[in-house]
Amino acid sequence: MSTRSRAAREGDPGRSAATDATGEVPPLETVIAARVREYRVAAGLNAAELAAKSGISRAMISRIETATTSASLSTIERLADALAVPVTALFRGVDTEREAAFTPAGQGSVTARSGTRLGHEYRQLGLLKGIDGAIDPTLVTLTESSAVFPLFQHPGTEFFYMLEGVMVYAHGSHSYTLRPGDSLLIDGEAPHGPQELIEVPIRFLAIGQLHAR
């Protein structure tokens, strides 16, 4: 039997994969084809044995492994069960490139916000663009020059984690004394902000959703 014929019989997705209107191999079908064949071979099963274990026809197994059909989620679940792997394993390699932001220690973009002119430093620790509801992690530093404190109001929630110093933080009609290791999660719609600096310098991590300022 020729290499080409053997590849077709085994369902080699790299040799006999479906193409779309542009001539490109559909990524999802191709990835599933490669994963099913990979796990089938690793399990020591041929297509007929996988068909028997999964209750899926051998013809369908062949079409899936050659990326000539789009398998339904229920079919993928049955294949995963027969191969004794998580369903997610059959999607490994699909759309794995995602944006990330790495900020080395001591770096980060210093941004101007309400309170900057009063001695507050806001150091943005990362930003992912174009993602709905992305978080906005910021390292906030307050010093003795921070004598007057602005109040903030914005949609969404915000989380604070104290790293250094001691301060009283106001949220609505309540006040909280925050020390290193303390955290505070608030609804940003209520007026909030530092109320009293007890031990400076003060550093805390503020994490909220991006919103218009």
pLDDT tops 60 at residue 17 = no
pLDDT, one tens digit per residue, over 136-189 is: 999 999 987 766 677 888 889 999 999 999 999 999 999 999 999 999 999 999
Angle between helices 27-42 and 73-83 (to 10 degrees): 20
Q: Residue 1's pLDDT is what? A: 38
For residue 3, what pLDDT band results from cuts at 50, 70 and 90? very low
pLDDT tops 80 at residue 26 = no
Q: How far apart are CA 176 and CA 194, in angstroms?
A: 10
Contacts of 4 (CB under 8 A, 6+ apart): 15
* 191 domain residue, yes or no: yes
Q: Residue 106's pLDDT is what? A: 84
* 98 domain residue, yes or no: no
Three-state secondary structure readout of the chain = CCHHHHHHHHCCCCCCCCCCCCCCCCHHHHHHHHHHHHHHHHCCCCHHHHHHHHCCCHHHHHHHHCCCCCCCHHHHHHHHHHHCCCHHHHHCCCCCCCCCCCCCCCCCEEECCCCHHHCCEEEECCCCCCCCCCEEEEEEEECCCCCCCCCECCCCEEEEEEEEEEEEEEECCEEEEECCCCEEEEECCCCEEEEEEEEEEEEEEEEEECCCC
Written as six digits, the tokens of 98 are: 């995602």
The answer on 135 and 62 residing in a single domain is no
The answer on 204 and 123 residing in a single domain is yes
The answer on 80 and 153 residing in a single domain is no
The answer on 119 and 204 residing in a single domain is yes
The answer on 72 and 126 residing in a single domain is no
* 133 domain residue, yes or no: yes
For the chain, how many structural domains are there in total? 2
For residue 9, what pLDDT band results from cuts at 50, 70 and 90? very low
* 159 domain residue, yes or no: yes
How many angstroms from the chain centroid is the CA of residue 44?
35
* 102 domain residue, yes or no: no
CATH number at residue 52: 1.10.260.40
For residue 32, what pLDDT band results from cuts at 50, 70 and 90? very high
Of the residues 60, 91, 122, the one at which a domain ends: 91
For residue 5, what pLDDT band results from cuts at 50, 70 and 90? very low
Task: List residues bridging with 193 in a β-sheet.
Answer: 170
Q: What would the mean pLDDT of 37-63 be, rounded to a whole number?
A: 95
Domain, as residue range, for 47: 3-91
For residues 33 and 64, the answer to whether their CB atoms sit within 8 Å is: yes
Q: Residue 117's pLDDT is what? A: 64
The answer on 87 and 114 residing in a single domain is no
Q: How far apart are CA 198 and CA 193, in angstroms?
A: 14
pLDDT, one tens digit per residue, over 69-88 is: 989 999 999 999 999 999 98
CATH number at residue 150: 2.60.120.10
Q: What would the mean pLDDT of 42-64 be, rounded to a whole number?
A: 95
The answer on 65 and 7 residing in a single domain is yes
For residue 111, what pLDDT band results from cuts at 50, 70 and 90? confident
Place of tokens 């040799």: 15
Q: How far apart are CA 204 and CA 138, in angstroms?
A: 8
**What pTM value is reported for the model?**
0.57
Average pLDDT, the chain: 83
